[in-house]
Amino acid sequence: MAEEMRTSTRDLRALHDRVAAWLSGRTGGPVEVSELSRPSANGMSSETLFFTASWAGRPPVRCVARLAPAAEAVPVFPRYDLEAQFEVMRLARERAGVPAPRALWLEPDPGALGTPFFVMERADGDVPPDVMPYTFEGWLLDAPPERRRELQDASVGLLAALHDAPFTRDDLSVLSRPESAPSPGPHGRAGGRDGLRAHVDAQRAYYAWAHGDHPIPLLERAFDWLEAHWPDDPGPDVLTWGDARIGNVMYRDFRPVAVLDWEMAAVGPRELDLAWMIFLHRFFQDLTEAMGLPGLPDFMRRDDVCRTYRDLTGHPPANMDFHLTYAALRHGVIMARVWRRRIHFGEQAMPDDPDDLVLHRTTLERMIAD
Active-site amino acid positions: 243
> 84 CB contacts (<8 Å, ≥6 apart)?
174, 175, 177, 180, 265
266-268 and 103-107 beta bridge pairing: unpaired
CA-closest candidate to residue 115, choices 15, 262, 260: 15
Residue type, 79: R
Q: Do residues 67 and 18 make contact, with C-beta atoms less than 8 angstroms apart?
A: no
**CA atoms lying within 13 Å on the CB side of residue 40:** 3
With H, G, I as helix, E, B as strand and everything else as coil, classify residue 13. helix
Angstrom distance (rounded) from CA 236 to CA 229:
18
Angstrom distance (rounded) from CA 332 to CA 217:
12
CA-closest candidate to residue 223, choices 358, 75, 353: 358
Q: Do residues 202 and 187 make contact, with C-beta atoms less than 8 angstroms apart?
A: yes
DSSP 8-state secondary structure symbol assigned to residue 62: E
Angstrom distance (rounded) from CA 365 to CA 218:
7
Query: Residue 255 belongs to what H/E stretch?
Result: strand 255-259
H-state helical runs in the chain: 12-27, 82-96, 139-142, 145-164, 195-211, 217-228, 271-290, 302-313, 320-344, 361-369
3-state secondary structure 87-118: HHHHHHHHHHCCCCCCEEEEECCCCCCCCCEE
